[in-house]
Structure 1
Amino acid sequence: MIFVPLSFVAALLLVILLVAALRARETTGGNTAFLVLVALCAVQSVVVGLRWGYHVEAARYVLPILAASLPPLVLLSFRTLLQRDDAGSGAVRWLHALPPLVMIALVLFVPALIDVALIVIFVGYALAVLNLGRSGPDALVEARLDSAVAAHRALVIAAAALCLSALFDLGVLLAFEWSMGANAEIIASNANILGLFFIGLTAFVASRAHPSAPTQPGPPEPSPSEQDREILDRVQRLLVDQKLYRDDNLTLSRLARRVGVPARQISGAVNRLAGKNVSQYINDIRISEACRLLRDTDMSVTAAMLDAGFQTKSNFNREFRRVTALSPASWREQNRPRAAA
């Protein structure tokens, strides 16, 4: 009977996610960095199967290098959803090539330090990823507003997966210290499968938050303004009067350029006056329009969703329930005008 390691199954699922992302790239704007991240997770999962399932010795040298390449790519992928000016210079980005280079040196000369180095790399990058999203979904100004919350949630889960991988690496290290590596194989294989799948899945989710067309840098940020009401009025006029909410590729960065106000000032004005983030604020307007269409027309739920500016049913249904506490179909049934007797 042919033995198929569980990590090969995880790799297959990741490849399916990658193919789905590539097929949907034209409409969802799949980000290249996230697609590379999913591909790397799939490759690493195959190498894990070769190392622990078939005991291929060559894989033991490749696996730490692939593992050290993963956290920098997670960070760089999520940085693509930040303001362009916050993405860092090319010289700084090249510093993220150090972890795999250091790991190559350790594999060749000091293999005893591999597990310790991986723990430091994974925990350090997990904290860096969490720091990217410290301001909530509004920090991801290059994410489509209908997907910003999901992308931020993916960011947090990806950071947690990095920490989980570090925890399992610590378990492997202790297994060798205390029991001569008796349980190391089980710990390492399970850890890699779990961590890689979660990172790949979150990368797939976050890739769909990127707009389909690249955006240009916004204007320089002026001094902070206290005229929150004026800013919010200008945003409201653009969204409602010019129906900008119908742009399913709308991002906070694009909105800021249309309003002529820095993204941080728009986010601050919405937070202070509306008590919510920009994504929720705009989705509230979209849901209001969807409700009007469901109540006053015979338009299908899917058509109303698209006309209101949503691109995916999952986001639409989630936001619709957040605002109305009902599904679109149930809301329509309860709010359609009754025919006169």
Structure 2
Amino acid sequence: MIGDTYLRQSLMIRSMLFIPFPFVIAILLIVLLAVVRTRDDEAPPNLPFQALILLGAFQSTLSGLRWGYAVQPVMYVMPVAAAMVPPLAYLGVSRLARKSSLSPIQQICLHGLPAGLIVVLIALWRDAIDIAIVLTDVGYAAAILLLMRSGTDALRLAPFENAGPTYRAILFAASALLLSAAVDIFIWLDLAWAGGEYALKVITFGNLAALAVLAAAAAAASRSHAPVDRVEAVRPPEILQDSQTLAAVQALMKDRHAYRDVDLNLDRLARKLAIPARQISAAINRATGKNVSQYVNEYRIAEACTLLAETDDPVTEIMFEVGFQTKSNFNREFRRVTDTTPLEWRDRSRRPSKSTPVQKAD
């Protein structure tokens, strides 16, 4: 028979020593949220990701109240909060991947269904709470991975500069949801077969660790944001061959230096060219074997190499001029393209016989 994890765990409260770990996690998540909000002050915030971090702090607090102070009423709130985590993660990811045809109210109603279901189950069928939460975690993790199936090019609304780190953070978020589901399954099995011998340790560290990883991934992914769009005149899209599509992209990069736009993303690139985003992605991938963010960043690195060789401008100034916003991303992409650092490139470029050729975008 399916155990009611969130309700039956209360039977073990008296045997547990007080551990302030959940409150430490809650405090750290509040600090993380403050950092994210400050960082995103000049950019449209990813509200679902911010709400996810806040919800993580709330869940950690509930866990501390329940296991540290035996406040049993919170056990009715915990499963509802747990059911809200996966939808918020999905909504945060979808804001970077595509524009929804649903209004904000419609999205809230749709993705609020898991939490509503848990409320109903608490009142009518508590034994089904565990499996409902596990299915919610797994279902939304699968939905996130489905959105990301085309790699970094799936992040159509995220700036190219942050596409790689954002993609990895999203994969971590999906993994955290799967870890949370695995932890819940283990707890249910432990309660059913071993009387909860290991449940306390798993609850205290396993769930909170998954929650912390998910919140950290949300914070990392929120570095990317969908910029406020400027109205641009576009002509009706035409069906172009890969060579024509690539030629159009190259012209935009070389003639208009579109790569210098720090907010450039696949969706914005598609509008500038009046070519479907999927067609651009497929053409670049087939012709060069690279994703769009790598392709655009190589134009940025090519210009950076020229500036490093021909000017004495500071590296940071050059980084901003060519379209990068963070030094870590600039250095990582520079090493990927040139297999050296910016300072090493500048030094070698002034010794032609030992210089390293830059890999330019095709």
Describe the shift of the 1:83–1:118 C-alpha distance in structure 2 as closer, same or farther (beyond 3 A): closer
Deviation at 1:175, TM superposition (A): 1.2
Corresponding position of 2:332: 318
d(CA) in 2 for partners of 1:68, 1:304 = 46
Q: Does 1:229 align with 2:243?
A: yes
Q: What one-letter code is carried by the residue in structure 1 that aligns with 2:56? A: C
Identity of aligned residues (%): 43
Corresponding position of 2:255: 241
Secondary structure of residue in 1 paired with 2:96: coil
CA contact (8 A) 2:96 2:226 kept: no
Corresponding position of 2:171: 156
Describe the shift of the 1:72–1:216 C-alpha distance in structure 2 as closer, same or farther (beyond 3 A): farther
Secondary structure of residue in 1 paired with 2:196: coil
d(CA) in 2 for partners of 1:60, 1:276 = 49
Deviation at 1:322, TM superposition (A): 1.2
d(CA) in 2 for partners of 1:158, 1:181 = 28
Q: What one-letter code is carried by the residue in structure 2 that aligns with 1:194? A: A
Name which of structure 1's ranges 16-25 and 323-332 shifts more when overlaid on structure 2: 323-332
Q: Which of 238, 250, 253 does residue 267 from structure 2 map onto? A: 253
Q: Which of 134, 142, 162 does residue 127 from structure 1 map onto? A: 142
Deviation at 1:68, TM superposition (A): 0.4
Corresponding position of 2:127: 112
Q: Does 1:39 align with 2:54?
A: yes
d(CA) in 1 for partners of 2:83, 2:180 = 11
Name which of structure 1's ranges 325-334 and 210-219 shifts more when overlaid on structure 2: 210-219
Q: Does 1:89 align with 2:102?
A: yes
Secondary structure of residue in 1 paired with 2:161: coil
- Residues 253-301 of structure 1, C-alpha deviations (whole Å, 9 max, x = no match): 1111111111111111111111101000000111111111112111111
d(CA) in 2 for partners of 1:307, 1:47 = 47
Name which of structure 1's ranges 178-187 and 66-75 shifts more when overlaid on structure 2: 178-187
Deviation at 1:141, TM superposition (A): 0.3
- Residues 179-216 of structure 1, C-alpha deviations (whole Å, 9 max, x = no match): 22232221112122111111111111111111442467
So what's the TM-score if we normalise by structure 2? Answer: 0.86
Q: Which of 172, 178, 186 does residue 171 from structure 1 map onto? A: 186
CA contact (8 A) 1:295 1:335 kept: yes
Deviation at 1:92, TM superposition (A): 6.2
CA contact (8 A) 1:29 1:209 kept: no
Secondary structure of residue in 2 paired with 1:80: helix
- Residues 200-254 of structure 1, C-alpha deviations (whole Å, 9 max, x = no match): 111111111114424679979857x351111111111111211111110111111
Deviation at 1:88, TM superposition (A): 4.4
Q: What one-letter code is carried by the residue in structure 2 that aligns with 1:289? A: E
Deviation at 1:26, TM superposition (A): 3.5
CA contact (8 A) 2:236 2:274 kept: no
CA contact (8 A) 1:219 1:262 kept: no
d(CA) in 2 for partners of 1:68, 1:218 = 43
Q: Which of 184, 187, 198 does residue 213 from structure 2 map onto? A: 198
CA contact (8 A) 1:218 1:253 kept: no
Describe the shift of the 1:253–1:166 C-alpha distance in structure 2 as closer, same or farther (beyond 3 A): same
Structure 2: 5+ residue runs without aligned partners?
Answer: 1-17, 353-362
Structure 1: 5+ residue runs without aligned partners?
Answer: none
Deviation at 1:332, TM superposition (A): 2.2
d(CA) in 2 for partners of 1:259, 1:217 = 10
d(CA) in 2 for partners of 1:27, 1:337 = 42
CA contact (8 A) 2:259 2:299 kept: yes
Describe the shift of the 1:28–1:147 C-alpha distance in structure 2 as closer, same or farther (beyond 3 A): farther
Q: Which of 77, 96, 100 does residue 62 from structure 1 map onto? A: 77
